[in-house]
Structure 1
Amino acid sequence: MTTTDVGAVVVGGGLVGSAAAWQLARRGRDVLLLERFGPGHVHGASHGASRIFRRTYADPTYVRLAQEAEAAWRELEERTGTDLLTRTGGVDHGSAQALAGLVATLRSLDEPHELLPAAAAAERWPGLSFETEVLFSPATGRVHADRAVAALQQAAALEGGEVRHHARVARLDVDGDHALVELEDGTRLRTRELVVAAGGWAHDLVGHLVPLPRITVTQEQPAHFQAAVPTEAWPAVVHHARPGDGTPADAYALATPGEGYKVGFHGVGPVVHPDERDYAATPEGLAQLRAYVGRWFPGLDPATAEPISCTYATTDDEHFVLDRRGPLTVAAGFSGHGFKFGPVLGRVLADLVDGRPAAAMFGLESVRTAARGLSTGSS
């Protein structure tokens, strides 16, 4: 059977793989992006109309990546003529320990922020409820997910890359300094530069080739709610759970224009294989989410919940996997908070292909102890 040599192959046409294809193509690589499904599919973690963009992290590495990402999103908008990033402002509230960590980091990096008493925040944003001090970040906003993936693929094509949908990979192998890619249709490819950004399918595709950490795939079930009051001025919300909050985990919320106000818990969905999902909210999970909205979002109608479904692929410490072994570069474990960094993750992967290492915390050999929560990351 004939094997075709390709300069660089990217497997996975979601956000991260598409970003890698763009960044590699603009560096002059002959890039082929392979996506198992069709454009705009709903089977992974990159679809929909809204993701939170924020720079409120306790870890300065993520703050710096988000600062770089904002400029990269604006560059992508200009390159493709697409509106992607909208500033709305954002608030964090809840756990005093989580907020203290955020404030300390933001101060150390001269990142604009404001602290408000709970009553002042509730007065400023009618329809939202707070019981603790509130951290406001003017840089927070939302990214339109579907448009972002399409724009990244458009940008890759403008740089000479090829985007191929409905191209399912059957097997990956490494042979010395080459990687071998076999598609279900029998196509065989050989490359010295293989990037795999396969989301929930990471272990299926590369688990036999590199020592991936544990990555837990869950089917998350946020929902859109309709408002009884105007929400145009509402910020995005990150709620750091504390005892008595009536929530099973940290939570997030943001407007999705035309669909409602999206509210969800962070990383509490049932464990699934991405090929075996039912795309349905559990009755217990939906009831818990409605009760949460009733307590913390008096401007929303809990009865109007319209569930939506996506996947998380989560490492134990919620740090990403961005590393290279031989001809294989791996991107995995974005843990429900990777979307905001999209174009920059592509840059990091292109740097890895070029031989420049990523931060040690993203390495395959990194020690990953459980440290879950929105103080590490969020939507």
Structure 2
Amino acid sequence: MSTEVHDCIVIGAGIQGSSTAYHLAQNKQKTLLLEQFVLPHSRGSSHGQTRIIRKAYEEDFYTKMMHESYELWAQLEREAGVQLFRRTGLLVMGPENEEGFSNIKATLQKNEVPTVLLERKEFSQHIPNVNLTDGNGALVDTTAGVLYADRSLRAIQGLYQNKGGVIKDGEKVIDIKPGAVVTVTTESGVYRGRSLVITAGPWANTLLTRAGLELPLKVVKINVCYWKEKIPGTYSVSHRFPCFVQYNPKEAEIYGLPSNEYPGLMKVSGRRCGIDVRAR
């Protein structure tokens, strides 16, 4: 076992763990980032090319947090010299008289987020090839867009290493001994740190148990679908088609992104398990 003691050990090199490690290294903390799989890999929640970023939330505190988040993403882009964000806007649709849609609208207005309210009579002029369901309202969070996930992960890991941070991938953690100095044992070595951060996604319960902790965490699988564009090119980022979310308090909430990862295919998913998504 090495006598070296890190200021912090981070377990899990997804976007949460990599970002944590980056900021620790930026603050002159001697940091070790451990990952059980060989990087890059497709097994975690940070895998894939695109994610939605937005300020359109029901909860006021999330919208406030996103102001700082946008600034941090812009800072990361400048430092990495790579485009990580593309502004597309987010089309939000939902029952006008239901709490969810009303809360989003109120939160955006309260926080003075640039927003376009779409009247039914002019909806098709702004958003062609999409039908607005009777009784639904629609708005666009114009600050929203697409984050390039895989690219962001590579960028932040590179910057972390540039600041002296160490990444050890392909090292599965098999034991954690808490204490004034935490001891982390992997299949390849033993490491010591004054503090420990666990950002292991669906493997969190296993690691927490090894650290003597039990939390009521439940792993949820989200299926992602790719729909073929009816009219090639009209649902693409270059055609200015927005990200979108359809709120429905009685069913699944459907969200999607313009075609980007695979030419001619839109990315569509839902926020609840077991949803039945059918093309029309």
Residue 203 of structure 2 corresponds to which residue in structure 1? 201
Residue 249 of structure 1 corresponds to which residue in structure 2? 252
Residue 70 of structure 2 corresponds to which residue in structure 1? 70
Q: Secondary structure at the match of 1:257?
A: strand
Amino acid in the other structure paired with 1:253: G
Per the normalisation by structure 2, the TM-score is 0.90
Task: Report which stretch shifted further, 212-221 or 56-65.
Answer: 212-221
Runs of 4+, deviation exceeding 6 Å: none
Offset at residue 256 of structure 1 (A): 4.0
Measured in 2, the distance between the counterparts of 1:122 and 1:30 equals 55
| Change over 3 Å in CA distance of 1:11–1:50 after alignment to 2 | same
Residue 113 of structure 2 corresponds to which residue in structure 1? 111
1:180-212 Cα distance to aligned partner (Å, 9 max, x none): 100012x11111121110001111101454755
Conserved? CA contact 1:119–1:130, under 8 Å: no
Residue 27 of structure 1 corresponds to which residue in structure 2? 27
Offset at residue 139 of structure 1 (A): 0.5
Residue 326 of structure 1 corresponds to which residue in structure 2? none
Amino acid in the other structure paired with 1:268: C
**Bigger Cα Rg:** 2
Offset at residue 2 of structure 1 (A): 4.9
Offset at residue 98 of structure 1 (A): 0.7
Residue 179 of structure 1 corresponds to which residue in structure 2? 182
Offset at residue 220 of structure 1 (A): 1.6
Measured in 1, the distance between the counterparts of 2:126 and 2:2 equals 65
Amino acid in the other structure paired with 1:98: G
Q: Secondary structure at the match of 1:219?
A: coil
Measured in 2, the distance between the counterparts of 1:119 and 1:213 equals 50
2:270 to 265, 268, 277: 265
Conserved? CA contact 2:205–2:215, under 8 Å: no
Tell me if 1:144 matches 2:151.
no
2:132 to 130, 133, 146: 130
Conserved? CA contact 1:3–1:188, under 8 Å: no
Offset at residue 76 of structure 1 (A): 0.9
1:109-164 Cα distance to aligned partner (Å, 9 max, x none): 11221221234223311112211110211011010110111111011011111112
Measured in 1, the distance between the counterparts of 2:212 and 2:137 equals 44
Measured in 1, the distance between the counterparts of 2:72 and 2:196 equals 23
Measured in 1, the distance between the counterparts of 2:166 and 2:46 equals 20
Conserved? CA contact 1:173–1:181, under 8 Å: yes
Q: Secondary structure at the match of 1:39?
A: coil
Q: Secondary structure at the match of 1:167?
A: coil
Measured in 1, the distance between the counterparts of 2:210 and 2:187 equals 18
Aligned pairs for 1:230-249 (under 5 A) are 230-231=234-235, 232-243=239-250, 248-249=251-252
**Taking every aligned residue pair, what percent have the same amino acid on both sides?**
27
Residue 156 of structure 1 corresponds to which residue in structure 2? 160
Per the normalisation by structure 1, the TM-score is 0.67
Aligned pairs for 1:1-379 (under 5 A) are 1-2=1-2, 4-95=4-95, 96-131=98-133, 132-175=136-179, 177-185=180-188, 187-207=189-209, 209=211, 213-229=215-231, 230-231=234-235, 232-243=239-250, 248-259=251-262, 260-269=265-274, 288-289=276-277, 291=278, 293-294=279-280
Measured in 1, the distance between the counterparts of 2:26 and 2:73 equals 15
Offset at residue 238 of structure 1 (A): 0.9
Gaps of 5+ in 2: none
Gaps of 5+ in 1: 270-284, 295-379
| Change over 3 Å in CA distance of 1:226–1:253 after alignment to 2 | same
Conserved? CA contact 2:46–2:149, under 8 Å: yes
